[in-house]
Amino acid sequence: MADFGATGATGEFAISGVPSDALALTSDILRDVVTELVAEGVLPALPPQLHHFTSLETACRIIDGDNVRLSHAEYSNDQTEMGQAKEIIREELKGRSSDNFFAQVLSDYDKLEPTLDAYIFCMSTGNSGGGPPQDILSQWRAYGQDGRGACLTLDASKLARLVWNTPSLRINPVIYEKAKQVKFVGHILDHGQMKHTNNAPKALEATVAALVFATPLMKAPGFEEEREWRLIFMPPLDVDVPQPTLGFQARRDFLAPYIDLTYLWQVLRLDMIAIPALHATLPAPLPAVSLPLVPITEVMIGPSGHQSLNVRAFTKLLIQTNRRTVTIPQSRIPYRSLS
């Protein structure tokens, strides 16, 4: 098995919507596919840090409550979210539908996909050019309260420990290029067919489940500059786990469901790992997880006219929440918000 740093955080231990007796084979398919695509450079390896741009109010709430909200993917700013991925998966399956195996995979996926739910917390690898990676004007404008917000930098390796300890939770890079999206789906289908040809039990169910895994990982190419990674939770569908208690947040003209990370960790995770089939999807031994749950290493203050006041306030907040080692740099972009 590949080491966790290469593949564990990218999800082959975290499966959802999967028949319990197909979990092991699904893990095998995804482990092999993710390992191959990381080695080929199609998928990036987990970076050391990830960045989350947000408003001052939300940044304060995350720090003070040691919690983030995982919002339903279909309520994101990409209006084609998940729908585009489902169409790519269908296209690839239809292209192979003369084979009875793939025809059945398509039929089963079509039955399952309307019930799929993916809850996500969005982060970015940041700018690949000069300057601090999280000091990106387009991100400040779109997500950082038009420059008046903050950017939280998270320790990705510590965040990955939550993934390794929680069934159906994972960290994934978003795939924007259609050629890479097609290649990812194609690799899953190739490995599924190979398992079927070798008479592996539950090859059909495991292939469908691996496609479920792929669904929330594709986004329209117009968003590529965001270089997004996601903390993703997909509630299990075919195991005896209570469905999560949702919160609801008004966003512009719609009501978006979300799941609190603290609730997922403290309540739902315990229910899931009590089920042998779900516990078996986790690596052994499990890496230790220490508080705080949200591993913030830095809070960058956006390019507003009140940077020094915000630095002073966040300093007090970080001391009060026992996060004294967190640094508070300021954006260097001379941007004056017009809103």
Q: Does residue 339 belong to any structural domain of this protein?
A: no
Q: Does residue 138 belong to any structural domain of this protein?
A: yes
Quote the CA–CA distance of 260 and 269 in Å, as a whole number.
Answer: 12
Quote the pTM value: 0.86
Q: If you search the block for the tokens 């966003």, which residue do you land on?
A: 251
Residue 70 reports pLDDT greater than 60: yes
What was the pLDDT predicted at 21? 65
Half-sphere CA count of 228, side-chain side, radius 13 A: 26
Range(s) of the domain holding residue 144: 4-320
Residue 94 reports pLDDT greater than 60: yes
What was the pLDDT predicted at 215? 85
Which tens digits make up the pLDDT trace of 188-228? Answer: 999 999 999 999 988 998 899 889 888 888 888 888 888 89
Asked if 174 and 200 count as a contact pair (C-beta separation under 8 A), the reply is: no
Give me the number of domains the chain comprises: 1
What are the angstrom distances between the C-alpha of 25 and each of 18, 22, 30, 192? 10, 6, 9, 9
User: What mean pLDDT comes out for the span 140-168?
Assistant: 92
What are the angstrom distances between the C-alpha of 68 and each of 107, 169, 293, 294? 36, 14, 9, 8
Q: Does residue 326 belong to any structural domain of this protein?
A: no
Determine the angle formed by the axes of helices 178-197 and 83-95, rounding to 10 degrees.
50
Q: Does residue 133 belong to any structural domain of this protein?
A: yes
Quote the CA–CA distance of 37 and 10 in Å, as a whole number.
Answer: 11
Cα 248 off chain centre by: 19
Other Cβ atoms less than 10 A from the Cβ of 111: the count is: 10
Q: Does residue 65 belong to any structural domain of this protein?
A: yes
Q: Which two tokens stand for residue 93?
A: 């399956």
Which tens digits make up the pLDDT trace of 253-312? Answer: 889 999 999 999 999 999 989 988 888 878 888 899 999 999 999 999 999 889 999 999
Half-sphere CA count of 145, side-chain side, radius 13 A: 15
Higher per-residue confidence, 326 vs 132: 326
Percent of the chain scoring above 70 in pLDDT: 90
What was the pLDDT predicted at 8? 42
Nearest to 175 by CA among 113, 88, 233, 110: 88
Q: Does residue 329 belong to any structural domain of this protein?
A: no
Q: Does residue 28 belong to any structural domain of this protein?
A: yes
- Using the CB atoms, write b or e for 287-296: b if 16+ within 10 Å: eeeeeebbbb
Cα 255 off chain centre by: 21
Q: Does residue 223 belong to any structural domain of this protein?
A: yes
Determine the angle formed by the axes of helices 23-40 and 203-214, rounding to 10 degrees.
50
Residue 16 reports pLDDT greater than 60: no
User: What mean pLDDT comes out for the span 222-243?
Assistant: 82
Asked if 113 and 86 count as a contact pair (C-beta separation under 8 A), the reply is: yes
Count helices and strands (H / E) in the chain: 13, 9
Q: Which two tokens stand for residue 299?
A: 């809070």
What was the pLDDT predicted at 14? 40
Q: Which two tokens stand for residue 294?
A: 């949200």
What was the pLDDT predicted at 336? 76
